Structure 1
Amino acid sequence: MMGYTPSQGGMGFRSIANTGEAGVQEVPHLHTHILGGRVLGRMVSRQSE
């Protein structure tokens, strides 16, 4: 992705995709984020049900 691979000395990256109502979108489409540049920790915290 964008010419970067973890083997080049980086820590890697996280990709997140949102889509539809549950993805908090008014107009349905596939939307992605590529996150990196620092340690992001574990996945998003679970919410109490």
Structure 2
Amino acid sequence: MSDPLDKATSKAPATLGEGCLSRFDPDDLDSDDGTEFPGAAELWEQVRDKPEAQEE
């Protein structure tokens, strides 16, 4: 039998680097990869401006 992963319906994009420096290859990504998150900028502003909780 051939590689059982050949039957998979999806594949991860190619990566660059190794270990903790591994990241997706931007040249391998297209419009079908990633997510739509139209509220990301507003959420980032809220999180960034929120004071951090102080640890005791």
TM-score, normalised with respect to structure 1: 0.24
Q: Whose relative contact order is higher, 1 or 2, with alpha carbons under 8 Å and at least 6 apart?
A: 1
Greater share of helix: 2
TM-score, normalised with respect to structure 2: 0.22
Greater share of strand: 1
Bigger Rg, which one: 2
